[in-house]
Amino acid sequence: MLFRDRQDAGWQLANALHDYHQPLVLGLPRGGVPVAFEVAQALGGELDVLVVRKLGVPWHPELAMGAIAGNGICILNHELIARLGIGKERLNAIIADETRELQRRELAYRGHRPPPRITGRSVIVVDDGLATGATMQAAVEAVRKDAPGELVVAVPVAAADSLAAIDRFADRVVCLHAPRDFMAVGQWYQTFGQTSDEEVIALLARAALPRSSPPP
């Protein structure tokens, strides 16, 4: 195991990002938020969420055939979709279902609070790991629309081929480990339970609290 849990992964990732001061840190819900929380706390940054939804193959939901994000971003693996014979009607139904879930999570996590300012800022997009990279690509394209000053992707662990693909879209990619025998993100964590909506909301609330000033 490379990490005890997502908190440990966040601490280690923050050490690799020590050259950033008060960036905007965007966690991909749900599992990326605990990692992003530790990064934001260590760097004195602002924490927020960037809701992205994977488009899973109907009979194998963990296999991504694409992803959606806000601003109408939709990334599709057309080669995989064609190979599996997934028709347009079925694909559109999946996109519609995931769009509803994306909107539900946006409301649950942010309420009516406006999204953070991105233009001109250093933005670090964090997840707990990269498997296919589809959700991260959608996230990066969504952030890029708002013209950040620098767009960084930061993950504790990733599949090497997915890492190479993301490198084409981000200004910088920080990954602690890219094992050759990568099978799934969870295999590199000692504890990798599912993160709940309640945990995401609680971490966002904690991050919004004023930080105490250091003693003189």
Classify residue 178 by burial, with Cβ atoms within 10 Å: 0-12, 13-18, 19+: middle
- Average pLDDT on 153-161 reads 96
pTM for the whole thing?
0.92
- Supply the angle between the helices 32-43 and 6-16 in degrees, to the nearest 10: 40
CATH number for region 6-51+114-208:
3.40.50.2020
- pLDDT bracket for residue 215 (50, 70, 90): very low
Q: Where are the domains of the chain?
A: 6-51+114-208, 54-109
What is the DSSP track for 23-77?
A: -EEEE-TTTHHHHHHHHHHHHTPEEEE--EEEEEETTEEEEEEEEEESTT-EEE-
- Average pLDDT on 85-113 reads 94
pLDDT at 214: 44
Give the helix ranges, DSSP H, for 77-177.
Answer: 78-84, 88-110, 134-144, 160-166
What's the rounded Cα separation, in Å, for the pair 163 and 131?
9
Give the residue from 18, 19, 16, 36 showing the smallest Cα distance to 27: 36
Torsion sign across C-alpha atoms 140, 144, 146, 151: positive
What's the rounded Cα separation, in Å, for the pair 171 and 44?
21
Mean pLDDT of the chain: 93
